[in-house]
Structure 1
Amino acid sequence: MLRRVRRYAWFMDAHIPSPASAPLIWILAGEASGDVLGARLMQALRARNPAIRFAGVGGVRMEEQGLRSLFPMRDLAVMGLVEVLPRLRALSARLNEAVQDIEARSPDLVVTIDSPGFALRVLRRIRGLGIPRVHYVAPQVWAWRQKRVKEFPGLWEELLCLLPFEEEFFSKHGLLTKFVGHPVLQSGAETGDAARFYRKHGVKEGAHVLILMPGSRRSEAPRLLPVFGKMLALLRQEMPDVVPVIPVSPVVAATVARETARWPVRPVIVTDVQDKHDAFAAAGAALTKSGTSTLELALAGVPMAVTYRVNPLTAFMARRLIRVPYVAMVNLLAGRAVVPELLQEQCRPSVLARAVRALFEDPEMGHEQKEAFKTVLQGLQGPGGTLPAEAAADAVLQLLAERSQKEQGL
């Protein structure tokens, strides 16, 4: 019997790659949404090949999957044409650090996720290393500065995109692109439990629960939260039972707590994903920045208005470059103004208060939004009904297999 066990053990040792010979994927995420994408991709890859190793940069979610981040992901969480200027030296140092780590490790494949300002610079710097590269989440050049697409050939072997129209757009420019579906469909945003939210936070059932989503970057939240606070002061005059809820990532949790300490009504700040989804289930309305958060709320069926404010110079430059009629993703995908967009000059307490009150008080508006949400979400399904993370993992593994075959001369 012992001899059989030893023979079986030898067989297993001979067929399971040692840690040193297992594929190494260097993966980069630069903000909270990319961290979630990266974690799901890592999980899907490990489900297919448990021996895969990871190195790179990520946040809490990716670290939960075993990544030891080269440096804190929060160092990269900055946006805006003007806002980034004071951080250029620090970002340049992190860029050098990332490139040097890739050079030293010589991974089998590099995956960069979103954050094009940083990620594409990494891809450009490692172009001569002969390492296959995948960029996950297409740069939104179809929205503004479309001429930039001419800079992309040679930056990656494959582009994985989230929106159905992106595959055609980039393919027309000779870039190998694959639509994998939108990860919001895996978020679980529609699975919340309103009763659990009421119990946990001591909120009276039937209260006007208002979701406020100021952004996942440290440069976003401080710009929107003061306006949200003043809006609440106005809103409470007619809706005294309003309960503001702010779902935040760990990256900005301390900032949000500090910025809201003197609000007329203290918000419920949630950092747990399930708690956020429970809040969605309890909510009657939401006020959110533009971006993926609009799709999360759409999946949860929460009527919303979209708002945003950036540095005036950034706004001036953006308006000259933007080539799409809407900034809210749900509006862009629907091809019409499904939800109100209250941007820049309209991002004022009085305007926001009126919009939120209308969402609570006009059932027809909410019904129309929810019907439009269903159509938008249907268009985000991945190929053949595959979950987005699984489709992305399959694309990554295909590139790894192609590299292996090339090295073996097959």
Structure 2
Amino acid sequence: MSCEKIFLIAGEASGDQHAADLVRNLKLLNQDLRVYAVGGEGLKRAGARIIVRSSELSVVGAVEVLHHIRPILKAYRRVVNWLESERPSLLILVDFPEFNLLIAKKAKALGIPVFYFISPQIWAWRQGRVRKIKRLVDRMAVILPFEKDFYRNYGIDVEFVGHPLLDSVKPRMSREEFFNKFSIPGSARLVCLLPGSRSGEIRRHLNLFLKTAGKISRQHPDCSFCLPLAPGLSGDIERFINKGVRDFTKSSKLEVYLVRDSAHDAMAASDLVIAASGTVTLEAAILRVPMIVTYRLAPLTYFAGRLLVRVKWVSLVNLIAGRQVVPEILQDKAIPENLCDQALRLLEDHEARTAMIRQLDEIVGLLGKPGAAHRAASLVQSMLMQTHADKA
């Protein structure tokens, strides 16, 4: 299988990280494997050749997609042209269902096997897509404990491999070292602000999070605030963040420490995380840091979502627990006053903090064992070997 080619699509920052781990494990099994991808810096560092940058595709919601339709269509055409000309041995999809299932349909028509690593959250909404997945996807590796039964009930070939965050969420420095590196006052309580990884999320949440920080600070002047920069941000969105933080600091006299390449250290060093709902909530859970989860969507997207969503909670932490462990403050209720009230409760109430940390520990125990990317890579390798056996 020398110089075998596969194509991988990871359309978002979190998916890029998991896909990069998968590629590194695949290359341990097959050193001659050539990986081409839609992805970001993580995949590039892992040795994949980037055909389309994931930053061109990372949007959320129907309204937002309409505003970005031209780059999405351009990326679709580039990927399809590549598949038609190169005919890889396998297509690997990572989450990102709207784009990925379109590509899967084309791959199926070309006779290219399809492996899905990290399930789209169709169990939450638009469950009808599961029939499309059964038709287009040959095998799945899922990372949430309840997903295996969901897909197996539809007759899909699926394995639970554990959650890849168990391997990657590891602080590299102590709280004291983190405070020293970013010149944060050593006696301060620290609140970590995580407004999202996509440009639309950041534009919707940044001002909300900064205003919340201002309100918390008025009640607790000893609090400091940090804001980790998500990997793979475009230059435009980094400038948006820098300007927003700079203007806020100028008007409020409250410094918010921007943190690059140390998000897990920032969370681990913090007394509280305020996060836009997403994978980052599981990262905070693995680090056992109390958190508040919030989210805002474009009004039309939110209205449509309320008609379609079939789950009671939006955060992965609460979904895995099957109950509310962390507070969720959503859409019209996502205002600085409400976020501040919950933040003060978790900063001041020792029993509430301890209870949440204990429940987070239970949730992490449900995520499986480390080694998810290795187990997924073994499934990919077995698919490649089966493909060659079928052609022989």
One-letter amino acid of the structure 1 residue matched with residue 103 of structure 2: V
Aligned to 1:231: 212
Instruction: For 1:102 and 1:126, locate their aligned partners in 2 and report how far apart those are by CA, in whole Å.
Output: 7
* CA drift at 1:189: 3.6
Q: Compare 149-158 and 39-48 and name the one that shifted more.
A: 149-158
Q: Partners in 1 of 2:352 and 2:13 — Cα distance?
A: 31
Q: What is the CA-CA distance between 1:190 and the residue it aligns to? A: 5.3
Match of 1:343 in 2: 330
- The corresponding residue for 2:90 is 109
For 1:362, the aligned partner's letter is: D
TM-score (norm 2): 0.95
**2: CA distance between counterparts of 1:376 and 1:121?**
34
- Structure 1 residue 270: Cα displacement: 1.8
**Counterpart residue type for residue 203 of structure 1:** I
1:70-92 Cα distance to aligned partner (Å, 9 max, x none): 12210011111211111112211
The reply to whether residue 296 of structure 1 matches residue 280 of structure 2 is no
Structure 1: distance between partners of 2:300 and 2:170: 35
Match of 2:385 among 398, 401, 410: 401
Residues 193 and 282 in structure 1, CA contact (< 8 A), matched pair in contact too = yes
Say yes or no: does 1:56 pair with 2:37: yes
SS at match of 2:367: coil
The reply to whether residue 389 of structure 1 matches residue 376 of structure 2 is no
Kindly indicate whether the alpha-carbon contact (under 8 Å) linking 2:107 and 2:114 is maintained by their aligned counterparts in 1.
no
Answer with 258-267 or 94-103: which moved more.
258-267
Distance 2:371 2:57 in 1: 28
Q: What is the alpha-carbon distance in structure 1 between the residues aligned to residue 340 and residue 320 of structure 2?
A: 26
Partner of 1:260: 245
1:326-382 Cα deviation digits (max 9, x unpaired): 11111111111111000011100111111111111111111111111111111111x
| Contact kept? 1:145, 1:322, Cα under 8 Å | yes
Q: Provide the residue aligned with 1:11 in structure 2.
A: none
What pairs up with 1:174-213 in 2 under 5 angstroms? 174-189=155-170, 192-213=173-194
* Structure 2 residue 288 is matched with structure 1 residue 307: no
1:96 maps to 77
C-alpha deviation, 1:386, in angstroms? 5.7
Q: 2 CA distance for matches of 1:48 and 1:258?
A: 45
Residue identity opposite 2:304 in structure 1: M
Conserved in 2, the CA contact under 8 Å of 1:192 and 1:279?
A: no
- Aligned pair partner of 2:258 in 232, 245, 269: 269
1:150 aligns to what SS in structure 2? helix
Q: Give the aligned partner of residue 222 of structure 1.
A: 203
Mapped contact 1:187–1:296 kept (Cα < 8 A): no
Deviation, structure 1 residue 316:
1.1
**Secondary structure, counterpart of 1:154 in structure 2:** helix
Mapping for residues 122-161 of structure 1, pairs under 5 Å: 122-161=103-142
Indicate which of 273, 283, 288 corresponds to 1:286: 273
8 A Cα contact 1:111 1:135, kept in partner: yes
Between Structure 1 and Structure 2, how many residues are aligned?
Answer: 384
In 2, are the aligned partners of 1:192 and 1:281 still within 8 Å (CA)? Answer: no
Letter in 1 for 2:295: Y
Secondary structure in 1 matching 2:293: strand
* Per-residue Cα deviation, 1:42-77 (whole angstroms, up to 9, x for no partner): 111111221111112110111111222112210011
Q: Secondary structure at the match of 1:140?
A: coil
CA contact (8 A) 1:192 1:280 kept: no
| RMSD between superposed Cα atoms in Å | 1.4
Q: Say whether residues 1:26 and 2:15 are aligned partners.
A: no
TM-superposition CA deviations, 1:163-193 (whole Å, max 9, x none): 1111111111121111111111112345641
Q: Distance in 1 between matches of 2:333 and 2:159?
A: 37
Q: CA 1:304–1:175 in structure 2 vs 1: closer, same or farther (change >3 Å)?
A: same
Secondary structure of the residue that 2:7 maps to in structure 1?
strand
Report if aligned partners of 1:183, 1:388 keep a CA contact under 8 Å in 2.
Answer: yes
Is the Cα–Cα contact under 8 Å of residues 163 and 370 in structure 2 kept in the other structure? no
CA distance in 1: counterparts of 2:170 and 2:310, whole angstroms: 30
- Counterpart among 301, 307, 330 of residue 317 in structure 2: 330
Determine if the alignment matches structure 1 residue 369 to structure 2 residue 350.
no
How far apart in 1 are the matches of 2:282 and 2:257? 22
Q: Distance in 2 between matches of 1:185 and 1:342?
A: 26
2:265 aligned counterpart, secondary structure? helix
Q: CA deviation at 1:142?
A: 1.0
Query: What SS does the corresponding residue of 1:262 show, helix, strand or coil?
Result: helix
The answer on whether the counterparts of 1:192 and 1:277 sit within 8 Å (CA) in structure 2 is no
Q: Return the letter of the residue paired with 1:365.
A: A
Matched, 1:39 2:20: yes
- Give the secondary structure class of the aligned counterpart of 1:54: strand
Preserved CA contact (<8 Å) 2:275 2:294: yes
Equivalent residue for 2:47, pick from 61, 66, 72 = 66
Deviation at 1:223, TM superposition (A): 0.2
- Match for 2:152 among 171, 174, 197? 171
User: Based on CA coordinates, which of the two structures has the bigger radius of gyration?
Assistant: 1
Corresponding residue for residue 121 of structure 1: 102
